[in-house]
Structure 1
Amino acid sequence: MKKYLFNVRYVAAVALLSFASCVNDDLPDVGDLEDITGPTPFYSFSDVSSSEFDCNDVELSANYDYFFQAGTNLAVNGTQYDWTVTPDTGLVLINKDLPILQQSIDAADATVVGIQSEIDKLEFKIPCESDPAKKAVMEQEVIKLKAQKAVAEASRSEETIALIAYYNEQIDNLPEGTLQDREVIFGFPGPGVYDVSLKVTDNLGKSDVTLKTITVDQAVPTVPVPEISEAGFEDNDLFDGSGDGRDSWRVPSNAAWSPLGGGTTVPQINSNSELGSVPEGLQSAKFPSGGDRVAYQEIEVTPGATYVISYFTAFNLDSPGEMTLSILTPNTSSYAESLLTSNIIASRTESNDGRIADVFKKHAITFEAGTNESVIIFATNSGDEYRLDAFEISVKN
C-alpha cells in the first residue's frame, strides 16, 4: 500500500512539472493567454428629486435630481467612465458628496434644524388656515419657536460651530461633478425623456457602452396626512391646549345621531394612573354596553388618495358584544343614514368573541377618498362595554 501511494504522488508531481513547463514564458510562442475579456458596463440610478408646493398645490420650486452609479464586471483592471446624456441642454452635474455634507451640517446643528423644521411646517399651513382662532394660535407658536431658535443658535458650542464651518468649507471647495465620475448626480432641467449612456474603458483600451432611456416625471404635490383631533382622547390636546379628550368626537346633533333616538351620545372617558396601561397617554374613550354612546369626527382628505386608519380597542367581556368603526361620506347626516350602504366608504365590525378582557388590540381600515374632500369617522357598539384609543392615519402609497 505504501508503494502504491508513493507512485501516485510521483505521478502527480510529474504532471505538475509538465504543466509548469507548458506555461514557461521562456518557451517561444508559449505562455499566458492574452486577456481578451472586455468590460461589461452597467449602472443604477435613483430619484433624489425635491419639490415644494404651497397649500394650494401651486409649485414653488422643483429639482429633478437623479443619482447615477456606474459599474463594470472588471474587478481588477483600471477603468474609465464616460457618461453621455441626450438631450443635455440645461443639464447640471452635481458632486455626489454635496448632499452628504449638507446632511452632516444638519446633524451637527440638529437642535436648530429641528426647530426651523417646525417653523416651516406652521408657516406652510398659516396662509391656508380658514379658522381665525387656529391661525392666531399657529402665529403665536411661530413667534415662540423663533425665540427658541435664537436661543439655540446662541447656545451652540465651539465644537459645533467649528464643525459646521468645516463642512461649509468642504462644500465651498467641492469640485463640480463631471461626466467621468463613477458616481454623479444629474440635475435634469425638467420632466422629459432622456437617453443616458455609459461607456467603460479598461486599462487595455477595450471598451463597451450601455444605454437606457430615463423618464423624468413631473413633480406633484405630496398628499398631506390628515389630522385626527384628540386621537388619543387625552385632556388639553386641542390646538389651543384645551379639550377634555373627547370634544372633537361630539356629533352635530344628539337627536339625529343617537342609536337610541336621543340623549347623551358623547363617549365617556376612562382614566388610568400609570403610563403604558393604555396604548396612548393615560386616557381612552369608554362606550357603555347600552350602545347609547358614539364617536364622530369629520376629517379633511385629499380626493383620489388612499388612507389607512389604525386604532386600538378593548372589551370588558361582561356579555357578548361588538363594535363597529365606519368611514362615512360627508353628506351622511344621521345615525339612520350611517347604516346605508351608499354612505359607507369602509367599515369594520369586531366581536368580543375570543378576546381577553381589558387587553387592547390594534386594528386598521383602508379606504379611498374618491371624490370626497372630507370623511366622517364614526364608532358605535352594542352588548358589551368597550374602550377605544390611539387613532393614527397615514397615506397609502
Structure 2
Amino acid sequence: MKIKLKHLKVYTWLFITSIMILISCQDDDLPEVGDLPDLTPPSANFVAIQKEGTNPEEDFKIYFLTNQSVSSTDYQWEIPDGVILLDLDADDDITPTLASENINLEFPGEGTFEVTLTSSDKLGKTSTITKSIEVIEPEKPDVPDPILVNSDFDKLPKSSGSDCTCSAWINKSIGDQGESSSGNGGSDNVVKFDNNEPDHLYQEFAVVPNADYTVEIVTSFKSPTGGSFPSMLELRVLAGSGYTSGYTPTYYTDTVEFPQDDFGYSSISQVEDTANNLLVEIQENPNNDDYITYSYTFNSGDNDSVALFIRGIGGPATGGGGGDFGYNSGDEEIRADSITITAINL
C-alpha cells in the first residue's frame, strides 16, 4: 500500500510540473491586459509639389513636401547633401526640422534627388518610402521687343509746335530737336542733325532687367567738307536708375502725348555720367552719303526702363546755331532714317 502511494505522489508531481511548463511557454504569446493587435499599421507616403513663384530662375528649385502617411504619428525625413530645409512660414513660431510632418526643400539645381520618409505609430511600427524628385528648370519665356513710338521718323503731330519727324523724340533739357528732312527715297521721312547745332533724339522705353538687346540705326552722313570739325553721331543707352530723382517714366503711345521738357534725364551732366550709361557708340563719317545700317548690343542690367539718346557731336562745345548744351555737331549734316530695338532670345 505504501508503494502505490509513493507512485501516486510522483505521478502527481509530474503532472503539475508539466502544466506549469506549458503555462510558462504560452505566457509570451498572450496579450497584456487591455492590449490589442495593431490592425492599422502605418503606411508612409508623401507628394512633392514644385513652387510656382514670380522668379522662375530661383523658384523652380523649391518644393513643398506634403505628408500623406496613414496611421502615423511620428515622422523622419532623409534628404540628400546640398538640399536645404526651408522655413517659408514667417508667421509660424515652429522651426521646421527633419522630424516635421511636412517640409519645404530647396534643391541646388537641376537633377534627380532621392528623399526618404519614415513614418511610425505609438506602437513602434514603422513604414518607409523613398521617392525620386526630378528638378527641372522651366524654359524662360522670350523677352519681348521694346516698344518705340515713331521709330521710322514719320512726320507726325507733337504736343506743341508744327508736325515733325522728331515727334516723340524730344527732350529740350538736353538738346535741340532734330528737324524733318527727306532722304533714302522718301519725303519728310528722316531726322536731320544740322551741322554746328546740338540736335538730338531722346525716348524712354520699358525693358526686361538683365536682358540683351540689339539696336539698329540707319544713318547717312553728308560728304566731308574738309573742315576742322568733322561730324560724328553719338548713340547712348541710358539707365533708368539715372532718371531725375523722383521721376516715374510713362510710356506714351501717341506722339502728341509725349512731353518735350522736364522729364527723365534733365541735364547733360546726367547723360555723360559713366554710371548712367549702358552703351556708348560713336559713328564717324564713312566718306559717302549712303544710308548705312549700324548695329549695337546692350544689356539692361538691373533696369526695367532705359532711354535712347542720340546726338550730333564733333563741333565746338559752345556757339553754333542752336542752344548752349556743351556740344554741337561738326561741319556735316547727318540724317537718321529709322531705329529698331529687338530682344536677343537664344
- Return the index of the structure with the highest Cα Rg: 2
| TM-score, normalised by the number of residues in structure 2 | 0.45
More helix by share: 1
| TM-score, normalised by the number of residues in structure 1 | 0.39
